[in-house]
Amino acid sequence: MSAREENVGMERDGEAAEAVHVLACTACPRVSSADARGWKAYRVDEAVLPTVAFYCPACEPDRFERD
């Protein structure tokens, strides 16, 4: 690997470290802060492929609620 290629890789790593990903609540328009404190994630198997649904602290569904 050349020095130039190594520097490009290091720049990309730095960009990834600076990126902040937030969660979007499934039930309302809220988005999380960077630490997403109090947010919950639940696996959803209703679709063809399983997915994950995120809920903010205010919208978290009752896990034991029956339809």
With respect to residue 11, please indicate whether it lies within any of the assigned structural domains.
no
With respect to residue 2, please indicate whether it lies within any of the assigned structural domains.
no
More confident residue, 66 or 15: 15
Residues 26-55: tens digit of each pLDDT:
999 999 998 999 999 999 887 688 899 999
* 4, pLDDT greater than 60: no
With respect to residue 37, please indicate whether it lies within any of the assigned structural domains.
yes
> Which domain covers residue 62, as residue numbers?
21-67
With respect to residue 56, please indicate whether it lies within any of the assigned structural domains.
yes
Least confident interval from 6-10, 23-27, 42-46, 57-61: 6-10
With respect to residue 52, please indicate whether it lies within any of the assigned structural domains.
yes
With respect to residue 59, please indicate whether it lies within any of the assigned structural domains.
yes
Q: What is the model's pTM?
A: 0.60
What b-and-e string marks burial along 31-66, b requiring 16 or more CB atoms within 10 Å of the CB?
Answer: ebeeebeebeeeeeeeeeeeeeebbbeeeeeeeeee
pLDDT value at residue 20: 75
- Mean per-residue pLDDT of the chain: 77
